[in-house]
Amino acid sequence: MVSELTRKRLSLASQGRKFSLETLAKMSDKKLGINRSKETIAKMKAYQSTRAKQPVSGLKVSVTENLTNETVIYDSLRKAAIGLGTNHTTLRNYLNKNKLYKERYIILIV
């Protein structure tokens, strides 16, 4: 078992790492060969079906333009990302770092 400190160090060491096309192809081929038990497949299907029937509601997010102080409230971070024409992961990173997105949008959880 790896300690939490070691996990963090490994994570930091692999950030920004670029893989060659050959390495990516090898990793893809390796994933394709995974054989899962029927029990595991059943668990995965059960989880996916409940997720579709009971979707997780998002957190309301307010996006304020710094120049005009105009605020728009979105039902989720994903919808805010669509409204701003970006990815939800990008917005989440700016939200976590308390930085302005594109140096003009303030993103806050309502």
Alpha carbon distances (Å) from 16 to 11, 13, 26, 91: 10, 8, 19, 18
Angle, to 10 degrees, between the axis of helix 88-97 and the axis of helix 77-84?
Answer: 110
Share of the chain above pLDDT 70, in %: 95
The SS3 assignment for 6 reads: helix
pLDDT of residue 54: 64
List Cβ neighbours of 44 (8 Å cut-off, separation of 6 or more): 36
The average confidence (pLDDT) of the chain is: 88
> What is the distance between the alpha carbons of residues 55 and 48, in angstroms, rounded to a whole number?
10
Decide: 67 and 100 in contact? Cβ < 8 Å: no
Say what the pLDDT of residue 12 is: 86
Of the CA atoms within 13 Å of residue 53, those in its CB half-sphere come to 6
- Secondary element (H or E) of residue 52: helix 38-53
Q: pTM above the 0.95 mark?
A: no
AA identity, residue 73: I
For the stretch 35-69, pLDDT in tens is: 889 999 899 888 887 766 666 678 899 999 998 99
Position 38, amino acid: K
> What pLDDT is stored for residue 47 in this prediction?
82
Residues 6 or more apart whose CB falls under 8 angstroms from that of 24 comprise none
